[in-house]
Chain A
């Protein structure tokens, strides 16, 4: 029997991905564990390993195909003793969605998206299946196109009937939830935990219904920018995600900035001492120390370790620090979890590992989500100060400028040189006020200017 190789789900929430590259070709013999392809999701590229052994009989989805649905057949494997040429491709192959079609489909989806999303769910006290039937038949009369969409299942939210019922009863938007059930299916548990703290990204009043709707169609006018005067690089998953998330945050979150100058001399001295005393291979960076100081400040000022949700403010109990890492083609924020409890050596080691895997786009989704605070450092470029866009659903983000020698007036009214950096805290005004943000910066400044207090 021929074995179908299907598009794997690389994370519980993955519904489709781009088949970036094939590492095998028809006729190749593979065994279990061989890397056969690379798949690109929102933010990461991952390798696909073979589960079975045999000879690649057919490749059904070309490299570079976007929007390949999870579980669709991407290749067929002939088992030992089987003639690869005789093997037939299954009918439901994912290959039917070729490059061109998929981009066309996407365009179409974008133009009709608003209309679809604004449609209210049918209100009915009857069992759901009844109302579902009704809505299908009414659509059949007016817009037969929709029916085809139902069959396609592309935008379908996978959720159990009970989860749908609960979400309806409690007014929770399923499209904002991540499913923890098989193949990312939203189950009762997911809706129940959403009840406690649904992400700020959810249905804030007046906001567009879907995050996708935030990215409005935008084209360059050929009459103004002739196509041969620029190179168009298609959006990859990461660009799309960054665009979507930051647009959403910038439009929805009332940002306000606070900044303060912080003397770095003691921290630099402490760092030199620590690194001198540290065993071979351990090297602490200034950024590692700022991560630690941020975490301690979040614990000292818990009002700032918070997320806005439409059900209430979620105050996080631990400090999970997202660290912005610029990578080729975008930006990603791996998370140091429970940073308040971790020593500098641990933070340094984790950061080194996360950053290097981030650059290779090999981070797992759980490694770049779940933060409660972000830090972005552009000091190495000599940037004096800047303000970052909040990384939702986190409540604040710290932008760190360059440490530089500046003249400072000391207590004796003398002008002396000191190493100073300017940091800017962008705050979500729905979560905290100016005073809370200022208190957080005071705490952060205290830890940085007296680094020994981090040991307490």
Chain B
């Protein structure tokens, strides 16, 4: 006798969303969580960093009050209050997830889960905080245990929570580091670099690849670097951190770039060199689930190949994004339920967002990747300086770039940098999901005055019909 139709392990945005969808489809569901409902996203990731970045943004506006005709004599901040606001936001949302679980009659089991062989699905053993264990049997088990920051202990790239931070430590600083070294220029590294730079730290970002934000379009990477440098951020690209040496209250980093070696001393270091899946201590090897590079191997419906066992989200590999996890979770549950319209996961329509100042957002192929894939492309570009709303906002730096297949008119990719682009990108995601061509996008009415008009203009530009530049 199964206790549940589905047990979800991990209550991040992948797990808890999947659990809700499962109850909508009539399943009896339990969710296991070892720490806080909502997982990393709500508690230590997406949401609290957005709260921090909002403080930084307001500070930035206040500092520039004069350009808006306003008078603010003295701008200052209280770091502890900024951190507290961020923690309060996380707490409020975690409580919200608890409410959602209750509303949907999902049983929340607090403790650490492991698996052992069972039928029709592996047996879930949960160890609670007192060390007591209990076994649960479900018809289906979904792993949504997420991921954590990668470390390279051999080179001293190992977080200690004091001098060498992960995202988690960087979110709750006690004091503002004077000199900060950020290793890795992906979304996480850039967001923290942007935050600390705004607050006044002297920030250097080291990136192994020859450009920052390596997954973004090259043109966007270059524009981002220029704008960040204008704000005082320093970058070392094509550079590798050979070692980190901890001193009493600082860290010495040995960095090699272009055949030369250099040492940099910083008060604090943030490690943002990638993500590893939380695959350990679950009993996956014994069950025969396939693990590649710390990620569980699954098909488009999250199936692991072990009967009754599924995996979704960060655990299954890039892109490591909350919305990817939620989407995969829903697909997986619909696959289990045999829902009419279940479609396997397609990573090519997952948008990526970086919430730094300026913001960066994209979906689909970069111009270079599109050409690599053999497409003849038509590229459209529209700068923020040509948009009325952007100028009114005092945010006239940025670009909206679109890449079309010249033959078919397929929107292959869209890449944006500038104010609020993380809110705009979904327009292009819908276009891709609905397989709209340039014709429909051109026919669409965009409201005036909005930043979204640039999305229209970029499409027009790709076909030589741009209006306002």
Residues of A within 8 A of B (CB): 8-10, 32-33, 51, 127-130, 160-163, 165-166, 169, 180-183, 187-188
Contacts and interface: CB of A to CB of B under 8 A. Distances in A.
Contacts of B340: 8-10
Nearest to B409: A165
A130 B442 CA distance: 11
A127 B439 contact: yes
A187 B432 CA distance: 11
B343 A129 contact: no
B216 interface: no
Given A32-B26, A166-B408, A161 B435 contact: yes
Nearest to B434: A160
Given A165-B409, A188-B410, A181 B343 contact: yes
Contacts of A182: 341, 343
Interface of B: 26, 340-341, 343, 407-410, 434-440, 442-443
B443 A129 contact: yes
26 contacts: A9-B340, A9-B341, A33-B26, A51-B26, A127-B442, A128-B439, A129-B443, A130-B439, A160-B434, A160-B436, A161-B434, A161-B435, A161-B436, A161-B437, A161-B439, A161-B440, A162-B408, A162-B409, A162-B436, A162-B437, A163-B435, A165-B437, A166-B408, A182-B343, A183-B341, A188-B410
Contacts of B343: 180-182
Contacts of B438: 127
A160 B343 CA distance: 16
Contacts of B409: 162, 165
Given A8-B340, A33-B26, A183-B341, A165 B408 contact: yes
A127 B459 CA distance: 13
A285 B410 CA distance: 53
Nearest to B26: A32
Contacts of A183: 341
A125 to B, nearest CB: 12
A165 B343 CA distance: 23
A164 to B, nearest CB: 9
Nearest to B439: A127
A161 B443 CA distance: 13
A183 B434 CA distance: 13
Contacts of B435: 160-163, 187-188
Contacts of B26: 32-33, 51
A12 to B, nearest CB: 8
Contacts of B341: 9, 182-183
A394 to B, nearest CB: 28
B330 to A, nearest CB: 13
Contacts of A188: 410, 435
A161 B26 CA distance: 35
Contacts of B440: 129, 161
A226 to B, nearest CB: 47
A183 B435 CA distance: 15
Contacts of B408: 162, 165-166, 169
A128 B435 CA distance: 14
A316 B32 CA distance: 46
Contacts of A8: 340
- The list of the 10 closest CB pairs from A to B, nearest first, reads A127-B439, A160-B435, A162-B435, A32-B26, A161-B437, A129-B443, A129-B439, A182-B341, A128-B439, A162-B410
B404 to A, nearest CB: 11
B411 to A, nearest CB: 9
B386 to A, nearest CB: 23
A163 B435 CA distance: 8
B410 to A, nearest CB: 5
Nearest to B411: A162
B23 to A, nearest CB: 11
A169 B407 contact: yes
Contacts of A130: 439
A170 B370 CA distance: 21
A165 B434 CA distance: 13
Nearest to A53: B26
Given A160-B435, A161-B440, 16 more contacts: A8-B340, A9-B340, A127-B442, A128-B437, A130-B439, A160-B434, A160-B436, A161-B434, A162-B408, A162-B435, A162-B437, A165-B408, A169-B407, A182-B341, A187-B435, A188-B435
A182 to B, nearest CB: 5
Contacts of A163: 435
A10 B26 CA distance: 19
Nearest to A160: B435
A133 to B, nearest CB: 10
Contacts of A129: 439-440, 443
A186 to B, nearest CB: 10
A371 to B, nearest CB: 23
Nearest to B407: A169
Nearest to A128: B439
A98 to B, nearest CB: 26
A128 B438 CA distance: 10
Contacts of A51: 26
A417 to B, nearest CB: 52
Contacts of A181: 343
